[in-house]
Amino acid sequence: MQIFELYFNPEKSGRISESFIHQPQNVYERKLGKLYMVGEMLEMSKSDSPFLQNIFHIAKERYYENTSLSPDKALSETLKEVNSFLKNKEYQGKLFIAFLCSKNFSIHIAKIGEVKVVLLSEGKIKDICQELSKNEGDVFQDIISGEMKKKDKLLILTPEIYDSFKKGNLFQEIMKAPLNEKVMDKISALQKEKFPEASGVSLVMDHSLVLKEESQKISDKKTKKFSFPSFFKGIASSFSKIKRPKISLPQIKVPSIDRKPLSLFLLLFAVIIIGYLVISVENNIRIGRQKEIISQIDEDITRGKEKEDILLLKKSLSELEKLKEKRTQLHQQIEERYISLENELLALSGWEEVKDIELIKKVEEINPEGILITNEVLYFFTSKSPEILSLNLKTGKEHSYSLPSGEGVDLSSSSLNRSMFFASPNYLFSLENETPSISEIAKDDHSYISLSSFLGVPYFLKNNGEIFSYRNKYPGTWIEKGEKRIENALQLAIDGSIFILDKDNKIHRYYRGKYEEEINYLVFPSFRANKMETFSDTPVFFLDSKEKRIIIANKEGDVKRQLYIPGMQNPKDIAISSDQEKIYLLDGQEVYSIEF
């Protein structure tokens, strides 16, 4: 996230406008993220000058006091402390303050007075604090929380600056591209030109994908390797340069002393000193080498961010992880880089935490292994029971179908308002307008592992990559002779072309029986899909049960969104609504609806 502070006529008489930013200083503070404040005081006296600074100092100390709290809880405790301070001071003028804390893409906001918080997202301008009361009583009352997306921009503005930005169409200018110093200089110049008398401050936050990278200057001098001969030669030469003064002493008889214990002590002392020196030199050499590695990693990170190269950034993260394991004096620097790069990779991969999900049904009759949707009717099935349950999402009507084969459902698909359920060894059960029919189909020797359908025609996949289509009861080989077959295939999906998912999460596209291309999805964290779904004019949807996320990608190899669902226990299957506005997720025996 890039942060810009814009001040306009800050020394205007009778007014103070200030912004404050605190970046986490250690691993404990990073648990709570960053803290921001924008404030403005009107009708102030000279004695009120440090008032806003004092408020932010109190807030910062209280916010990071207990890092075991969540950011919203920490902000709530902070506001209580600030409210107490405001009541004791009894400031008589007008006071506008907004606090904002952010961690990754989550934000929590509280405000007093007419200060504005504006979100610029997907071409829309929204005052996201309209739901908050104006808090005219000069105390904080409410907190509003939400999630930002990558490329969103957030502005906190004092009243006059908000009015000038709105009248001057500056919000539209800010939305045009990722921000940098040059763009912000242009915005500032436009504001001053159109509204030269406006006074106040704006804090601008940009979830841009290309961030400024703080570089660390590493010395070009190479560390010399430790050498025992050189070390002792240096000691000897040092002693040889010492001049020994001649002193005449009277001869005194000294009793004979056994010098062996003293010699042993001196020898032990020398060994300890030499060992300490060796270890110190080796540590310096090691740290010097790690600094060189960190410097190279920093260059790779900068290049990766500029090009949005996920592969290069993932490589840099792996190298940082190796350095983390060594636990040297540079551990803090390495840890900070690792966390920052991890967040950058999540942003590039469209990571979103889904909190708004709706429970549709808990299936009690069976323990479903899969779901299917056709014409707003959800079907639940399992390979262990011949029962297929349905739920009409419009009417709420439930129904049960029993397969006459007595077998459970292994595979399913839907097209042209027709639901298909395959039961081993060779039964194809269909529902069209909720009218059932069953047929026996001739089957190849090998087991089918995936079923998809297009224009009412079922297509089956074997694990050796062969595809069979059934335009009647008999299978026809779909892939042309001599064309590439995908070994260790997992699933297929159809939109006119056929897509096959392999064990390495690569997609192979076929068209009219011919192999067309391989599609690789670069995503962080790496994923293992156990379900793939697509249709004509839709993205590709992947369910990664282990990581509790749904990945939405286009058919050119770009990941658009990752929907992370932290509350899930055992995600099994997904189904996409016909209007492509909802994903239905089967978690254990519960089905949830997710809008996307």
Q: Is the pLDDT of residue 370 over 50?
A: yes
Q: Is the pLDDT of residue 229 over 60?
A: no
Residues 411 and 547 in one domain: yes
The percentage of the chain sitting over the pLDDT mark of 70, rounded to a whole number, equals 85
Q: Is the pLDDT of residue 278 over 70?
A: no
> So what's the pLDDT on residue 252?
37
> So what's the pLDDT on residue 133?
53
* Local confidence band at 256 (pLDDT 50, 70, 90 cut-offs): very low
Does residue 250 lie in a domain region?
Answer: no
> So what's the pLDDT on residue 280?
60
Q: Is the pLDDT of residue 398 over 50?
A: yes
Residues 344 and 364 in one domain: no
Q: For residue 383, what is the domain's CATH number?
A: 2.130.10.10
Q: Is the pLDDT of residue 405 over 90?
A: no
What one-letter code names the amino acid at 566?
Answer: P
> So what's the pLDDT on residue 1?
67
The domain boundary residue, chosen from 161, 178, 206: 206
Q: Is the pLDDT of residue 222 over 60?
A: no
The percentage of the chain sitting over the pLDDT mark of 90, rounded to a whole number, equals 35
Q: For residue 106, what is the domain's CATH number?
A: 3.60.40.10
More confident residue, 295 or 367: 367
Residues 327 and 408 in one domain: no
Which segment of 51-55, 80-84, 246-250, 589-593 scores lowest on mean pLDDT?
246-250
More confident residue, 337 or 543: 543
> So what's the pLDDT on residue 46?
65
Q: Token pair for residue 51?
A: 């008032």
In three-state form (DSSP H/G/I as H, E/B as E, the rest C), the secondary structure along 2-35 is EEEEEEECCCCCCEEEEEEEECCCCHHHHCCCEE
The domain boundary residue, chosen from 348, 370, 397: 348
Tell me which residue has tokens 């709570």.
32
Does residue 251 lie in a domain region?
Answer: no
The rounded distance, in Å, linking the Cα atoms of 28 and 23 is 12
75-79's contacts with Cβ under 8 Å and 24+ in sequence apart are 75/99, 75/101, 75/108, 75/110, 75/143, 76/143, 79/110, 79/140, 79/143
Torsion 478-482-483-488 (CA) sign: positive
Residues 174 and 304 in one domain: no
> So what's the pLDDT on residue 99?
94
The rounded distance, in Å, linking the Cα atoms of 157 and 167 is 14
Q: Residue 491 belongs to what H/E stretch?
A: strand 489-494
Q: CB within 8 A of 225, min separation 6: which ones?
A: 285
The rounded distance, in Å, linking the Cα atoms of 106 and 343 is 12
Q: Is the pLDDT of residue 283 over 90?
A: no
Does residue 98 lie in a domain region?
Answer: yes
> So what's the pLDDT on residue 400?
93
Residues 411 and 338 in one domain: no
Residues 459 and 574 in one domain: yes
Torsion 350-351-352-358 (CA) sign: positive
Does residue 565 lie in a domain region?
Answer: yes
> So what's the pLDDT on residue 564?
93
Does residue 225 lie in a domain region?
Answer: no
Q: Is the pLDDT of residue 444 over 70?
A: no
Q: Is the pLDDT of residue 132 over 80?
A: no
Average pLDDT over residues 61-69: 88
Give DSSP secondary structure letters for 539-593.
-EEEEETTTTEEEEE-TTS-EEEEEE-TT-S-EEEEEE-TTSSEEEEEETTEEEE
Q: Is the pLDDT of residue 115 over 50?
A: yes
Does residue 16 lie in a domain region?
Answer: yes
Q: Is the pLDDT of residue 250 over 80?
A: no
Please give the tally of structural domains in the chain.
3
Greatest mean pLDDT among 164-178, 213-227, 456-470 lies in 456-470
The rounded distance, in Å, linking the Cα atoms of 128 and 109 is 9
Q: Is the pLDDT of residue 521 over 80?
A: yes
Residues 64 and 136 in one domain: yes
The rounded distance, in Å, linking the Cα atoms of 377 and 392 is 4
The domain boundary residue, chosen from 302, 332, 348: 348
Residues 311 and 450 in one domain: no
Q: Is the pLDDT of residue 246 over 50?
A: no
CA-nearest of 213, 202, 97 to 153 is 202
Average pLDDT of the chain?
82
Running DSSP on this structure, what letter comes out for residue 229?
Answer: H
Does residue 218 lie in a domain region?
Answer: no
Q: Token pair for residue 352?
A: 């979103």
Does residue 216 lie in a domain region?
Answer: no
> So what's the pLDDT on residue 327?
66
Average pLDDT over residues 36-43: 89
Residues 288 and 400 in one domain: no
Mind listing the pLDDT tens digit for each residue in 292-309?
A: 788 888 888 888 888 888
CA-nearest of 426, 450, 435 to 374 is 435
Q: Is the pLDDT of residue 482 over 90?
A: yes
Q: Residue 194 belongs to what H/E stretch?
A: helix 181-194
Query: Strand, helix or coil at 439?
Result: strand
Residues 367 and 494 in one domain: yes
Average pLDDT over residues 36-58: 83
State the Rg of the chain over Cα: 34
Residues 181 and 44 in one domain: yes
Hey, how many other C-beta atoms are within 10 angstroms of the C-beta on 64? 20
> So what's the pLDDT on residue 67?
83
Pairing mode of beta strands 124-127, 116-121: antiparallel
Residues 460 and 520 in one domain: yes
Query: Strand, helix or coil at 99?
Result: strand
Could you tell me the residue range of the domain that residue 470 belongs to?
353-595
Running DSSP on this structure, what letter comes out for residue 251?
Answer: -
